[in-house]
Structure 1
Amino acid sequence: MTAFFQLLFRFLSLLPLPVLHALGWVLGWLTFLASPRYRRRLFAHAQLAGYPRSVALGSVAESGKLVVELPRLWLGRPVRVDWDGVAHVEEAMTHGDGLLYLTPHLGCFEVTAQLVAQRFGERMPITVLYRPARQPWLRELMEARSRPGLHTAPTTLAGVKQLIKALKQHQAVGLLPDQVPPSGQGVWAPFFGRDAYTMTLSARLAQTGGARVVLIWGERLSWGRGYRARVRPFLADGDGQLSSDPQQAARQINQAMESLVKECPTQYLWSYDRYKAPAGLSHAARLDAERAQRT
C-alpha cells in the first residue's frame, strides 16, 4: 500500500496544474458532501467571522486544490508565480537581522516558502516548521521536499532549536501561527471574535536576535494559472513590533492573520479546527481561560 501511494503521488506530480486543480475541485466537493461534521464546521467558522455561506462554499473547492496540488509542488516542475509587495522583504533584509515569515492557513501556504527560497535563498536561507505526517510514505516525501535555500524543521524541541539557531545566524524562518499548538505552548486569544488557543512560539522567535516580522501568503490563481506571493508588513499597534507580553503578542498576531484572511476569504481553510482545545488541556481549564479573557 505504501508503494502504491508513493507511485500515485509521483504520477500526480507530472500533471499540469490546471488538471490538478480540477481534480482538487472534485475532491473538495466530495469531501463536503460526504461529511456532515465538515459542513457544520465550515459554515460555523465562516459565520463567526461574519461571512455568508457563499464564502464558505467558495472555499470548498480551494480546500481540495490544497491537497491535490502538493505532489506538483513537492516533486514536479516549477510553477508560474509573481509577487505583490516584495519590497517589504527587501526592506526587512536591509537591517541584517533574522526574518520571520508568518502565514495563515490561507491560499497555498505550501508554496510561499518555496518562492522565498527561490528568490532569496542564496542571500538568506529559510527554515520552515512543519508537522510530520503520521503515514510513513507521506513522511518520507515531506522530508525529501527540501531544496536549495529551503530547510525544514519538525514540530519538536529539536526543530524549535533549529529555528532559533537559524534566526541567530540572521537567516529566515517560516511558520503558520494559526496552527493549534500542544497544551502548555499557547495562550487563549481572540480570532475573529472567539478565543482560540494560540501559539506563543511565533512571538518568542520574533524576539530572537531582533528578528523582523513579515506577513506572507500564496494566492492561488484561477484556472491553474499559478500563484501570487502576497507580502505585507507586520504593523502591530502601529510600531511594527510585537509586544513582549505573550498574551498581547498572541492578540497582535491573530489580528494580523485576520487581516490577511480578509484579502481573500474564499481561500481560507475554514474547515480547520482552529478553536479546538489541544490534547491534555481539560475542558474546565479551557472555560476558565476563556472567562479570564473576557474579564
Structure 2
Amino acid sequence: MRLMKKRQVTIKRNLELCFPDMSDQEREAIIKENIDNAGIALFETAMAWFWSDKRVSKHVNIEGMEHIEALEQQGKGVLMLAVHSMNLELGARAFGIQKSGSGVYRPNNNPCFDYFQYKGRSRSNRTLIDRKNVKGMLEALKTGQRVWYAPDHDYGTRRSTFAPLFAVKRACTTTGTSLLVDATDCAIVPFTMVRESNGQYTLTISAPVEGFPKNDPVQAAAFVNKIVEKSIMACPGQYMWLHRRFKTRPDGECCLYKPQLVPVM
C-alpha cells in the first residue's frame, strides 16, 4: 500500500510536468485509470508469458503488418520502436507470434523472476539482447532482423542527451536510437498496443518513419521523443507513468520530484 502511494505521487508529478495546462479533474481521471491498469498489467503479463499462441492471437487484432512484410522483402533491419505501455509484454508477444525478432531487455536482479521473464519473453522472440549489448543489437539489425526497442525511459547520462518531451524541455533521452540507425541504416517502425473498451487489444504498426536526422544525436533524440509522445497519447491511461521519467537533470538543475517544485519549461 505504501509503495502504491509513492507510485501515485510519481504518476501525478509526471502528469503535472508533461501537461501543466491539464485540469485537476482530467489529471485525477488519468491517475485512477493508470493505477487500475497497473493491476490489470499483472494479468496481461501472465497472458503474454503463459498463454498459447492461439489464445493470445484470438485477443489481439494487428493492424499495419503490410509495413513489416514490405521491409522483409527488402531484407532491411527494423527497429521496432515502442513505449513502456502497461501491456507491452502482451503486445510484443502478439507481434512475435506473427514475425519473430530480438527483444531488448534489462535482466532482473532477482534470479527467480529473471528466469520467468527470460523464458516468457523468449516464447515468440528469436532471442533476447541485454540492453547494454549494443554490439548484439547492431549485428541483429545488420543481418535484417527486427529489434524491439523502447527509448522512452530515463536511462541515465551515459549515451544520452537532453531533448524536449511534452512540456519538459530538457528530458534525459537515450542517443542509442541514433547510434543504431546511423550504423545500420535500419528502418524505424513505431508500434502501439491499446486495450479497447471491449477487452480486446489493437496492435497498430505504423509506416516506417521518414526524415530521421542522421549523424545528429541531439536532433535525433528530439525526433524520437515526438514519436514517443504520439505513442503515449494513443492511450495515456495505459502508459507507465509510475516511473520517475525526469529524474536525471542537467548540471545545476534541481530534482523535479520534490513537492515544492513547479514544472520546468
TM-score by length of 2: 0.82
In structure 2, how many angstroms separate the alpha carbons of the residues matched to 1:65 and 1:38? Answer: 16
Q: Deviations over 1:184-232 (max 9, x none)?
A: 2211111112121111112211223210000012212346x34221112
Q: 2:251 — aligned with what?
A: 285
Q: Would the aligned equivalents of 1:85 and 1:230 in 2 still touch at CA under 8 Å?
A: yes
Q: Would the aligned equivalents of 2:60 and 2:201 in 1 still touch at CA under 8 Å?
A: yes
Does 1:264 pair with 2:235?
yes
Q: Which runs of 5+ in 2 are unaligned?
A: 255-263
- Written as runs of structure 1 = structure 2, the 5 A alignment for 1:164-243 is 164-194=138-168, 195-222=170-197, 225-235=199-209, 239-243=210-214
Letter in 2 for 1:154: D
Q: 2:38 — aligned with what?
A: 63
Measure how far apart 1:34 and its partner are.
Answer: 5.9
Measure how far apart 1:263 and its partner are.
Answer: 1.5
Does 1:133 pair with 2:112?
no
In structure 2, how many angstroms separate the alpha carbons of the residues matched to 1:268 and 1:82? Answer: 19
- Aligned identity (percent) is 24
In structure 2, how many angstroms separate the alpha carbons of the residues matched to 1:284 and 1:120? Answer: 40
Does 1:154 pair with 2:130?
yes
Q: Deviations over 1:163-184 (max 9, x none)?
A: 1111111111011101222432
Measure how far apart 1:144 and its partner are.
Answer: 1.5
Work out which of the residue numbers 65, 69, 79 in structure 2 matches 1:86: 65
Measure how far apart 1:284 and its partner are.
Answer: 6.5
Measure how far apart 1:47 and its partner are.
Answer: 2.9
Letter in 1 for 2:136: Q
Q: Deviations over 1:21-63 (max 9, x none)?
A: xxxxxxxxxx5x8644322221121233324221222211112
Q: Which runs of 5+ in 1 are unaligned?
A: 1-30, 278-282, 289-293
Measure how far apart 1:286 and its partner are.
Answer: 5.9
Distance 1:187 1:34, change over 3 A: closer
Q: Would the aligned equivalents of 2:85 and 2:239 in 1 still touch at CA under 8 Å?
A: yes
Q: 2:15 — aligned with what?
A: 46
Q: Would the aligned equivalents of 2:80 and 2:188 in 1 still touch at CA under 8 Å?
A: yes
SS at match of 2:192: strand
Q: 1:100 — aligned with what?
A: 79
Distance 1:219 1:256, change over 3 A: same
Does 1:76 pair with 2:45?
no
Higher share in helix: 1
